[in-house]
């Protein structure tokens, strides 16, 4: 009968508790929450720079959601790609917002990844026993670069076309493996529909899948090893 004193919110609290009970009876989530969430408190020595891994993950989730929305209207065809991007920006309601979030999220994500890496590097946090977490982290950084590189071509503007020409000429100048690498990236002698198709596939399927896999490894490692002590 104590609950009655809480006033009008009690009913809602009861519903939330009831929902929790229903799940708990079947999956014993109280035990998981106690073990994994409520007893794992953040160490007090953490500062703002310790947050950038989490911020990066948050931006990545935003990129997934806005990316899915963009994919609904984007057409990966050299004749229609630019037209569809212009339509998203100018004609589709709130398309400017979705594209803007994706664009700025992409730029910000590179920045937050850099800050995160800087913290880990200059704090010496990559040292044993966390070397493998540094390795998955660097792989995730390279994937972020891959996202930026492949996503830049998709609007099919002059800027994106020539950026891709230049960025594939560079590995093409490598000795021995250069020409092979370049034609593997472009799918032919120059930037064409084939290039757009494979960049699109990389951007929306291959890189996200690889990123998710590595993120799981990255998070399991920190879960197991814990956050490193103060400097």
Binding site for another protein (CB under 8 A): 6-9, 69, 72, 90-95, 97-98
One DSSP character per residue, 167-208 reads HHHHHHTSTTTHHHHHHHHHSSSSSSHHHHHHHHHIIIIIHH
Question: To the nearest whole angstrom, how small is the minimum distance from the Cβ of residue 112 to another protein?
Answer: 22
Question: To the nearest whole angstrom, how small is the minimum distance from the Cβ of residue 8 to another protein?
Answer: 5
Q: What does the CA dihedral 80, 63, 136, 215 come to, rounded to 10 degrees?
A: -120
The smaller minimum CB distance to another protein, of residues 28 and 91, is found at: 91
The smaller minimum CB distance to another protein, of residues 95 and 151, is found at: 95
Question: To the nearest whole angstrom, how small is the minimum distance from the Cβ of residue 20 to another protein?
Answer: 18
The smaller minimum CB distance to another protein, of residues 39 and 90, is found at: 90
Question: To the nearest whole angstrom, how small is the minimum distance from the Cβ of residue 44 to another protein?
Answer: 28
Query: What phi-psi label fits residue 53: left (phi over 0), alpha (psi between -120 and 50 degrees) or beta?
Result: alpha
The smaller minimum CB distance to another protein, of residues 96 and 121, is found at: 96
Cα–Cα dist 181/170, whole Å:
10
């Amino acid at each position: 009968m104590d609950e009655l004193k809480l006033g009008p919110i009690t009913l809602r609290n009861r519903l939330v508790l009831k929902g929790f009970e229903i799940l708990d009876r079947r999956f014993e989530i109280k035990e998981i929450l106690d073990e994994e969430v409520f007893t794992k408190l953040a160490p007090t020595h953490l500062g703002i720079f310790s947050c950038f891994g989490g911020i990066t993950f948050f931006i990545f989730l935003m990129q997934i959601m806005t990316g899915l929305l963009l994919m609904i209207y984007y057409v990966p065809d050299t004749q229609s790609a630019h037209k569809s991007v212009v339509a998203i920006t100018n004609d589709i309601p709130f398309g400017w917002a979705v594209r803007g979030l994706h664009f700025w999220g992409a730029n910000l994500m590179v920045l937050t990844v850099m800050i995160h890496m800087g913290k880990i590097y200059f704090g010496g946090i990559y040292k044993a026993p966390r070397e493998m977490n540094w390795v998955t982290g660097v792989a995730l950084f390279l994937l972020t670069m891959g996202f930026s590189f492949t996503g830049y071509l998709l609007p099919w503007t002059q800027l994106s076309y020539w950026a891709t020409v230049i960025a594939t000429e560079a590995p093409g100048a490598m000795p021995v493996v250069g020409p092979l690498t370049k034609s593997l990236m472009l799918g032919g002698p120059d930037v064409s529909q084939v290039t757009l198709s494979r960049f699109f596939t990389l951007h929306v399927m291959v890189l996200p899948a690889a990123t998710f896999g590595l993120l799981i490894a990255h998070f399991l490692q920190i879960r197991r090893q814990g956050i490193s002590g103060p400097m």
